[in-house]
Amino acid sequence: MCRTDVALSSDGRLLFCANQGSDTLTAFQRDPATGHLTPACEPLVITEPTSVLSIGP
């Protein structure tokens, strides 16, 4: 079974997604007013990421 996990940054402007099925960790910029997501950078290829945790104030 593949697992996907998402987390928002503490300010709500970034969304991080770990996708075990595609072996990627991806960051998206999030428009706080609309929730619209755009890629923040190229996905990071990492072996079987299963979860993400936002740490900050």
Q: What is the mean pLDDT of the chain?
A: 89
Q: Which domain holds residue 12?
A: 4-45
Q: Is residue 18 assigned to a domain?
A: yes
How do residues 8-34 score in pLDDT, each as one tens digit? 998 889 999 999 889 999 999 999 899
pLDDT of 54: 74
Number of domains forming the structure of the chain: 1
pLDDT of 40: 96
CA proximity to 27, closest of 54, 48, 3, 56:
54
pLDDT of 4: 83
pTM, two decimals, is: 0.82
Q: Is residue 50 assigned to a domain?
A: no
What proportion of the chain, given as a percentage, has pLDDT over 90?
61
